[in-house]
Amino acid sequence: MEQHIENELLESADGQEIQTLPGKPYPLGATWDGHGVNFAVFSENAHSIELCLFKPENGERECIKVKIEEVTHHVWHVYIPGLGPGQLYGYRAHGPYDPGKGHRFNSNKLLLDPYAKAINDHVRWDHAVFGYQIGHAEEDLSFNDSDSAGFMPKSVVIDPGFDWQGDVLPNIPYHNTVIYEVHVKGFTNLWDQIPENIRGTYAAIAHPASIQYLKQLGVTAIELMPIHHFVADQHLIEKGLTNYWGYNTLGFFAPDIRYSSSREPGAQVSEFKAMVRELHKAGIEVILDVVYNHTAEGNHFGPTFSFKGLDNAAYYRLVQDNPRYYMDYTGTGNTLNVRLPNVLALIMDSLRYWITEMHVDGFRFDLAATLARTLHDTDTLSSFFNIIHQDPVISQVKLIAEPWDINEDGYMVGKFPVGWAEWNGIYRDQIRDFWRGHDIEMTAFARRFTGSPDLYQSDYRRPTASINFITAHDGFTLNDLVSFDQKHNEANGEQNQDGDDSNHSWNCGVEGPTDDTDINSLRDRQKRNFLTTLLLSQGVAMVAAGDELGKTQQGNNNAYCQDNEISWLNWANADQQLLEFTRALIGLCNAHPTFRRRRWFQDLPVTGSEVKDIMWFWPNGQQIPDEEWEGHIARTFGVYLNGQGIRCVDPDGNKITDDNFYIIFHAGDQPLDFTLPPVECGSDWRIVINTAENFVGEADQTIPSGGSLTVTDHSVVALRCLSSPGT
């Protein structure tokens, strides 16, 4: 069936006619040139498109409706002189409503511009935002003629001008990068050092207190959880919850107004830019967590907000022999069809926009395996990767994949192309297993510690392809990882059925908080062990915001719907000792290129010496022979890092060298005596890290080569050599 709403006269509410000109098909979106606005929107299968203009004081119904007459290569375009920044608008698309053939046009639904640079509000859930009649016997095959304009946010024309004050991107190399994963609201919403009127916003991230904290912590990049304009799911709103994490995108060009300190339409754009500018002044990069694999419109029972109404079949992956239904590789109901050129263009245009106009430094792609799918499998040579690799803008920023999706063939850790880094889920799980006393082979620990060469080296990638992490937004916090064996997600309202059951965690003897001093001491030690292992490992370390403060979510490992104290950082109860330990630890690692190598260990002697670049030792001081590696369970050992074996030069061509370090990992449950390496590896050692003593610095005591020290159970000790071999 085809529905049609009669076109109104092109006149304002006071009867004054407005002028329309043909306009241009590029760029897509709404573009203000100082004299008027060009509107351009893609739809291949629509019969006609109407541009709807709104006044800020009346969002119930458009004050002007313009039938777009010009179409170029499926792009509908019109230019209206006299319009400017702050103008609210949307679209209505006319065409067949035939879900069985993949078409869901319904001109009663106001549609957001897929290229909108700002969105003025949030969806107000109502039956009117659905293209079909809720509760009808024919389900989504029925037709809903209710007008949705009063319940929909509006797209906003913006002024792209901004004083960047000579902004220069930090361009920090991967090997010098420490990433801090943070939620815009959760980071500052409870922080009394931030003015109350801007807490939880972009402006709060840009506040001097925030920047000083990040600088003192030593991180070089913040990875913001989704800030693209997103929708809070209806079923969550009805339960008094919300979508806190934001993995439900509706606007791929629009910074979400939730995190703006101003409600003025379009102000969120300049506020976001100001945040980036101030972080760059401090030498801190901004990486965005982006969700291009699906949209907020859900499956065939989902609402009609934008793409579904503009051209459902030209945006989504539909079931081939029954296009009423959607291919769902994400668990969210739909999947964007990156096989189609207009969808690829949308994603690439969005990425370029955030780089060129918003000055961001990189992206972490949510469920990135979905973007690689061509037919039903994942393909690392798909169009998506080829286009990015060839793009002179996008290929030059940090590209980080979450290398999996929900399908059986969707776990792609180690399989992304050159130029990509990956969240290394294998690192997370195996390092967790090591410290909880689970049996893993020494070879597994050694591979993770050295940058996962088994995953990346054969593909000509470097250790920095591995984004190492212990915790992230999804799962236990670091505190909860050592305090809970089981998830406790009752607050989510799903009878604790949501969230991962495999957490690789250990509660140290008691489930949840306890007054037992021995258990609390062990938990504190374990937190330091995890952080130390993470920061000393080759690759790129990512720290989840709040872990350094002892953040707890009371055992909730899936707090996606908790926009409250469960998720927010609790600055008043921060673990100051853990914070100081973390700062000192990051500072130590940043100061020593031994822990920030660009190239792989070669397991070969350094020129002019018989000492290798890396060597592994038993507690008795004997080097572990090759034949004892296979099948041996990792519990206790030492690793020697030769500062003369970095095998890299600095930007000026000078050979990079560093001190020698010896690191003892002891996951056993009893104290143990360790003999230090022989004199060939250097002499006169001093402790620089001792997780049992909450110590990062340099101890006064000097221990000779071959000397002995007692290492506490469940702890890490790192020593620096005061003299290199032969000196």
User: Which residues form the catalytic set?
Assistant: 366, 402
Q: What is d(CA 433, CA 430) in angstroms, rounded to the nearest whole number?
A: 5
Whether the Cβ atoms of residue 709 and residue 674 lie closer than 8 Å to each other: yes
Q: What is d(CA 654, CA 261) in angstroms, rounded to the nearest whole number?
A: 48
Whether the Cβ atoms of residue 291 and residue 226 lie closer than 8 Å to each other: yes
Phi, psi torsion values for 636, nearest 5 degrees? -150, 130
Phi-psi region of 131 (alpha: psi -120 to 50; beta: other; left: phi over 0): alpha
DSSP annotation string for 151-181: GS--EE--------TT-------GGG-EEEE
Write the CA distances from 420 to 195, 276, 300, 707, integer angstroms: 39, 23, 34, 44
Q: What is d(CA 584, CA 577) in angstroms, rounded to the nearest whole number?
A: 11
Residue 225 CB contacts under 8 Å (≥ 6 apart), including other chains: 181, 182, 183, 184, 245, 246, 289, 473
Whether the Cβ atoms of residue 405 and residue 367 lie closer than 8 Å to each other: yes
Q: What is d(CA 579, CA 585) in angstroms, rounded to the nearest whole number?
A: 10
Tokens standing for 296? 């907020």
Q: How far is CA 497 from the centre of its chain?
A: 25
Whether the ω angle into residue 27 lies within 30 degrees of 0, i.e. cis, is yes
Q: What is d(CA 430, CA 435) in angstroms, rounded to the nearest whole number?
A: 9
* Residue 496: how many other CB atoms lie within 10 Å: 17
Sign of CA dihedral 605, 607, 613, 617: positive
Phi, psi torsion values for 439, nearest 5 degrees? -70, 115
Looking at the chain, the number of H-run helices and the number of E-run strands are: 15, 28
Sign of CA dihedral 182, 184, 186, 189: positive
Q: What is d(CA 20, CA 397) in angstroms, rounded to the nearest whole number?
A: 40
Does an H or E element contain 355, and which? helix 341-356
